[in-house]
Structure 1
Amino acid sequence: MPGIRFVHRTPLPPVEAWLRLTDWERHGAQVPLTRTIIETAPPTGVGTLFTARTGVGRITFDDPMEVVLWRPPAQASPGLVRLIKHGRAITGWAEIEIRPGPAGGCEVEWREELRVRGLGRPFDPLVAAAARLLFRRALARLLRA
């Protein structure tokens, strides 16, 4: 399972970054040909279910996810959300941690392990590189002031 990890710094305060990064519908808007379908009533918390549906017309695949850890940032305490991917095509997990930055603003750390079914380990470096590029771009757009 390829692992992805990167850190992004933003001038946004941790609470604002948290609100932007846990607005799951906005995630879908940042990924090409993707929309997010929220399957549980607000507010978001442990047990929230949503699906990122990617594709065109009848050629689509779903990436269903469940929030299994929900700890918003509070004052100097970091925030952490953990998602489990329950899909047929994509499995694994993702975490987004938000902590106060050393000079104001905050740091966002994105960690993810994913497996694309049907692709063996020789494809792990390609899957990781593509996912890292896609998620970094989405994260930067979600945090854009």
Structure 2
Amino acid sequence: MAEFRIERRSALSPDDAWRRLTQWERHAAHVPLTRITVVTRGPNGLGTRFVARTGIGPAGFDDPMEVVRWEPPEPGHPGFCELEKQGTVVLGRAGIEVRPEGRGCRVVWHEEMRIARLPAAFDGLTAQSGRLLFGRAVAGLLRG
């Protein structure tokens, strides 16, 4: 299982950072060749399910996910969101923490993932690629 962690400091309030990071459809603007569809009715929260479709036309794959932990930040307390990947291609979990820090916040994105049928020898490359891709997405979401 490939594992990586991304940390970003933001001048945004924890509430604003949380809102940006958990608007799932917005992630697609920062992930190449990907569109995201939320398949449950809003508002976002525990049990929300969405699908990230990566590819061009019929050449691609779906990465369905479900929110299995939803604890928005409160004054003086961090927020936590955990996603469970439920597809057949990308497996694992992702966690988002939004912690108050100074006048802004610190965001920690933690991911444990495995690509189906890809040998464990590629976990390092998978983690490095994920760190770059998701780091770019988190930075973009926090910028607005």
The answer to whether residue 98 in structure 2 is matched with residue 98 in structure 1 is yes
Q: Distance in 1 between matches of 2:93 and 2:100?
A: 24
CA RMSD of aligned residues (A): 0.7
Alignment of 1:1-145 (within 5 A): 1-101=1-101, 103-145=102-144
SS in 1 for 2:111: strand
Q: Distance in 2 between matches of 1:46 and 1:105?
A: 25
Q: Distance in 2 between matches of 1:46 and 1:144?
A: 25
Q: Distance in 2 between matches of 1:24 and 1:6?
A: 18
SS in 1 for 2:40: coil
Shift of 1:18: 0.3
Q: Distance in 2 between matches of 1:88 and 1:29?
A: 24
Shift of 1:69: 0.4
Shift of 1:60: 1.1
Shift of 1:116: 0.1
- When normalised by structure 2's length, the TM-score is 0.98
SS in 1 for 2:47: coil
Matched residue count = 144
